[in-house]
Structure 1
Amino acid sequence: MKRFVALALASAVLAGCSSFSQPMVDTKGVDSARFNQDKYECEQYAAQVSPVGDAAVGALGGAAAGAALGAITGALVGGVGAGEAAAFGAATGGALGLGGGAVTGVQNQNDVYRRCMAGRGYNVLN
C-alpha cells in the first residue's frame, strides 16, 4: 500500500511539472516588432493564471473524495479498518487531484494566451 501511495504522489508531481507551452501563431505578413510586443504582453497575462492554485484546489477536492470513498469501502469490505482505508483514499485522491489540478492550471494559461493573441488579430494555430 505504501508503494502505491508513493507512486501516486510521484505521478502527481510529474504531472504538475507541466509548464506553459506557447501556442503556435501564424506570423505571415506580421510586423515582427509588433508581434514580439504582443507576444510579451499576452505571456504576462497568461503568467497571472496560477497552476499552483488549481493544483491545490484539485488536491483538496481529491483528498476529500478519496477519504470518503476509502472510508465507505473499508467499512463495507472489512479486513481493513475504515480509518486506514480513508487515509489511503485521501492520499491517493489528493495525489491524483494535485496532478489533475496542475494540468488544468497550465491549460488555463494556454487558453489565456490564445485568447489574448486572437483578440489582437493573430491567427492562433493550436
Structure 2
Amino acid sequence: MKAFALFFTPLFLVACAGANVKPIVDMQGVNQAKYDTDLQQCQAYATQQDGAAKSGLTDAAMGVAAGALLGLVAGGTGSNIAQSAGVGAIVGGGYGLYQGNKAQEAVVTNCLRGRGYKVLN
C-alpha cells in the first residue's frame, strides 16, 4: 500500500495539467488579449472532460481486478495475488492518468483550432 501511495501522490498533484495546457500557437497577427480570453474559455471547456484523476481511479480499480485475477489464475498464494493486484493498480492508474490528461489537452487544442488559431503541437 505504501508503494501505491508513493506512486500516485505525485501523479494526482499534476492530475489537472491536461485542462491547463497551453499549446504552442503561431501568434503572428493574433491579438494577445483575445487569445488569452479564448485560451481560458477553452481550458474551462476541457474541465468538463473526464480528467486524469477520475480516469486514473477508474483504471486503477480495473487494474486491481485484472491483477488479482491474473494472480489467481497463475495459482498464486494470497500475498502473490495481492502483489499482482497492486501492480495492476499502478499500471492501470498510470495509464488512466495519462489518458485523462491527453483527453483534456485535446479539448483545448481542438477548441483553439475551431476558433481559428494555428496550433503547432
**TM-score between both structures, scaled by the size of structure 1:** 0.80
Match of 1:61 in 2: 62
The AA in structure 1 aligned to 2:99 is: T
The AA in structure 2 aligned to 1:22 is: K
Equivalent-residue separation in structure 1 for 2:91 and 2:8 (angstroms): 6
Match of 1:97 in 2: 92
Q: Which runs of 5+ in 1 are unaligned?
A: none
1:109 aligns with 2:104: yes
Q: Pick closer, same or farther for the CA change 1:8–1:52 going to 2, 3 Å.
A: closer
Fraction of identical pairs, as percent: 32
**What SS is found at the alignment partner of 2:84?**
helix
Q: Pick closer, same or farther for the CA change 1:104–1:13 going to 2, 3 Å.
A: farther
Equivalent-residue separation in structure 1 for 2:13 and 2:102 (angstroms): 13
**What SS is found at the alignment partner of 2:23?**
coil
Equivalent-residue separation in structure 1 for 2:30 and 2:81 (angstroms): 57
The structural deviation recorded for 1:107 is 1.0
The answer to whether the 8 Å contact 1:15/1:103 transfers is no
Match of 1:10 in 2: 6
Q: Pick closer, same or farther for the CA change 1:125–1:110 going to 2, 3 Å.
A: same
Q: What do you get for the CA RMSD once the two structures are aligned?
A: 1.8
Q: Which runs of 5+ in 2 are unaligned?
A: none
The structural deviation recorded for 1:57 is 1.2
- Map 1:10-89 to 2 at 5 A: 10-18=6-14, 19-20=17-18, 21-49=21-49, 50-73=51-74, 75=75, 81=77, 83-89=78-84
Higher helix share: 1
Equivalent-residue separation in structure 2 for 1:61 and 1:70 (angstroms): 14
